[in-house]
Every structure is written in C-alpha cells, then in structure tokens.
Amino acid sequence: MRLCLYCYLVVVMALGAGCAALTPPPPATLEAVSQPSPSMLPAGSPTLQVQSPASTTDVVPTPLPAVPVTCKEQSDVVQCHDDFLALDFAYPEFMGRIAGVELKPGGYSGLAYEYMMERQGGSAGGRSANFSEGRGPMWTDQSGFPDGSVQSLCTIWDADLCLEAAPGVAILGLMPDSTRVCGDGVPPIPPRVFVVVNLPEHPVIQGFGFAGALLPGEQEAALIASFRAAHTDPTACSEQGQQAFDAEMAALQQSLLHGTEDTPIQARFDAFMMLAKSIRGPYVSGGAHVAGERMYDLPVVDTVISAVTAGDATRLGERIHYSTFRCGQVAALGGPPACREGEPEGTTVAGLPLLDAEGVFARPDEQEGWLRAFLAGNPVLVGVYAQPGGLPSEADWLPATHALVFVGGDRPTIATVLSVDDEGIVSVYTDAAPAALLARITGDLVAPSFLSP
C-alpha cells in the first residue's frame, strides 16, 4: 500500500457471490443473549446524530425466536440465516464469529437489534425507524435508507464512498481526512466500510448494517501511529503535507473501485462487496430507486441494464447493434465470419462479436444461446466505463462509447462486458478473471446519476 492507508461498485466488488436462500444447516446455533452494547464512536467522527425526543417511551421488545441466527463456516466465509429478520447473507470470517444476539429498547424510543461479535473485527446491528437514544452515533445505528434514498444515507454518514451494490443494499466507505488528522480534537478513525440493508417493511427493524475495518490489523495500527505522530512532524501537517494525504485517500478509493489496490486491502474490500451481493430476504427493498431504471441518464446504457436486471433475453436481444462484415470461407477471430451455404464469399452479413478464449461472430438468428447463458448466471452490474479501452476490438467492429461490466451473481468468477454505442450492444466479452479484467480496462468510471450531487 502506498501509505498504509475507496463500486464498487461497482466497483468490484464485484467478486460477490450471490447467496441464495439458505437452508439452515445443522451447525452451531446462537441463542438470544444479553450483552453490553458496542462502544460508541469517538466524538467528532461521522456527522450522524441520534435524535433525542422530548419525552421517553417505554418499549417492550418483541420476543426473539429461540434460535434467531444460524451460521455455517466455509473457509474464510460465514453463511448465515437470520430468522428474525428473514435475512440470508455470507460475511467475511475476519469480522469475527457471531457469539450472540440482542433485542432491546432504545433509551428514549424504538428498538435496537445487535449481533455480539466475538472479536474486534467488525460489528453488525440494526434499528427500528423510531429508535432514539441520548448519545452520539454508533456504527450499528442503521434504520434503513432515509427517504428511501441511498444518497441521503451517505450524506448523513458523510461517506466518501457511496454505492448501491444491489437493490436495497448500499456500501459506504469512510476515509480519514487531513483536517481531522491535523486538528486538535480526537484523532480520526481509520478507513471503515459499511454494508447497509434497507428493510422498510419489516415489522420491527427497518434497517440493518455491517461495519468493519478496511485495513488489515498491522496496517491499521501503522496508520493510527502516523496520526499520532503527525503533530510532531513539521511536514505532515503543512499545507503540502495535508494535500498529499487527501490525494492519497482519493487514490485509495479509485484503486479499490478498479480492483488494483494492494492485495490484502483489495481482498478486504472485495469481501465486503461479496457480503453486499449475498444479502437476500423478502423485506429487503430498494426504496425509491429501482435498480436498472434511469441509473445513468444514458438511454442505451440504462435500457441494457434494465433488461439485464429483469432477466429479459428478448428485450436485451432487441438492443444489439450489429456490425457488418463480408463473409469468408474460413472463420477466425480477426477474420471474417464464415459464409453459409449458398452465400458467395464476400457477401455482406450482420454479426455480433462474441469473445472469450476464442471468439465468434453471432448472426441475428444465433443470439439466443449467449443471451440465456449470460442471464442464467444472475449477472450483477459492477461498473460502467466511458470511452473504454483495454478490451478486444478490431477496425471493422462498431466502436463502443461505454462498457458495462457484469459479474455473475451465481458465478462470481465470470465477468462479462457488454460494450455499447448509442444504438445498442456492439460486442460481448467474457473473462474468467474479473479482478484482472477490471485492472485492464481504461476509461472513466461513470457514477450512477442517482448518486450524483
């Protein structure tokens, strides 16, 4: 990492595996227990404030199921089913084992639902919409998306990174800045990542979140030490030093989104993305934003994303913009498509380049196979690039204005790039190494319009 010091989203996250509804396995189960609440954040951290109402309200907690959460460890991933929230998810093992669950009334009103993690690796919990306590914010003060908006949630937390990883699921990244490093108050908190779930229709808890450190332990400790040393280093808090630190944080965000950060840090970010993509449940809702509809204010891009999100092969096929070629007797990548029986060599034909380890030109009546195979993997959008480079292309192919990168929700090791122009899909590229693919792509990563200020 350049200094020890983020979609996503997009990003990549992208290596997130879809976690279908789990059949609770027979492993260790967790009883509902009463534990101390997680410690509050240091003063001056996020801008979030927990409202203190004028009067208190006595709340009797809703009884938890006898076994509220059932988990099964699989290598470095823990798959869980939460019976109380009707939620399935797979979280990274470095966040720690869930040792217990607690449902308790808020200090003034509402309810708090907490997972008790056995070590400092992470925290998880949620709140009812009317939750209120006379204190500062905690990581688990998550009561859903304010006004149904991911952007509002990110504004409340003053998040530097803000991505909607899936409908009803957001990823937030909080980065330290030089103002807090060099200020006289409490030192800033090292980089943190949230995965927040919107549960507006749940009868008790309307939001739930997971939070953890972006940096591995030794690197986080080194960064904290650098915070403490900054006040004795005449260059660290100079104007030039502060600008360099803030630039470092901005570069960290971009490298994470492109999948090019130092391996241990990128692996942790990818693990949070995997968690976000794994979340399933009947109460999970995207609120005011419907994924795939008017996401980028780019008509063809939004239409293609909407068709993929809906799993609509017919509508997606209608958005193909074919290149024209003169057929030949020998078909090979970089050469002309094969002539069919009865077609003289040199006949002008329409085709779509389909590329993987080899490559073919699919004619209009040959599209069904790749369309159905692509959609069968439940593809998840991880990024849109303008003026893309680093992808296969030939002079006689229609040029692309944007590249839409998807990773299979059910096949996280497969990435598919739909390259489009102003009329439709002009080529399809499949790669079995998503992280390497994202590292190769050049171009500007386009922010979704609903996340724009």
Q: Cβ(430)–Cβ(414) under 8 Å?
A: yes
> What pLDDT, in 10s, does the model give residues 265-286?
888 898 898 899 888 888 888 5
Instruction: Give the pLDDT score at 329.
Output: 78
Q: What is the mean pLDDT of residues 88-102?
A: 91
Residue with tokens 């497969």: 414
- Judged against a pLDDT cut of 80, whether residue 20 lies above it is answered with no
Give the separation between CA 67 and CA 25, rounded to whole angstroms: 12
Which CATH class name applies to 299-448? alpha beta
pLDDT at 78 over 70: yes
Sign of CA dihedral 350, 403, 195, 199: negative
Residues 6, 160: contact at Cβ < 8 Å? yes
Contact 11, 258 (CB under 8 A): no
In the prediction, which pLDDT does 113 show? 94
What does pTM read for this prediction?
0.54
Burial of 166 (0-12, 13-18, 19+ CB in 10 A): buried
User: How confident is residue 410, by pLDDT bands cut at 50, 70 and 90?
Assistant: low
Query: Could you tell me whether strands 425-431 and 415-420 are parallel, antiparallel, or unpaired per DSSP bridges?
Result: antiparallel
pLDDT band at 8; cut points 50, 70, 90: very low
Confidence of residue 58 (pLDDT cuts 50, 70, 90): very low
Q: What is the CA radius of gyration of the chain?
A: 24
> Over pLDDT 70: what percentage of the chain?
78
Query: Does the pLDDT value for residue 197 go beyond 90?
Result: yes
pLDDT at residue 351 in the model: 92
| CA atoms within a 13 Å half-sphere pointing along the CA-CB vector of 386 | 7
Torsion angles phi and psi, residue 382, rounded to 5: -120, -5
For residue 333, the model assigns a pLDDT of 55
Task: Give dist(CA 131, CA 112) in Å, integer.
Answer: 7
What per-residue confidence (pLDDT) applies to 5? Answer: 27
Which tokens hold the place of 142?
């998550």
What pLDDT score was predicted for residue 62?
56
Give whole-number Cα distances, 16 to 245, 409, 432, in Å.
Answer: 30, 7, 14
In tens, the pLDDT along 31-47 reads 443 333 333 444 444 43
Q: Buried b vs exposed e over 137-164: b needs ≥16 C-beta within 10 Å? A: bbbbbbbbbbebbbbebbebbebbbbbb
Residues of the chain with CATH 3.10.450.50: 299-448
Give 2: exposed, middle or buried? Use CB within 10 Å, 0-12, 13-18, 19+.
exposed
Residue 84 has pLDDT above 60, yes or no: yes
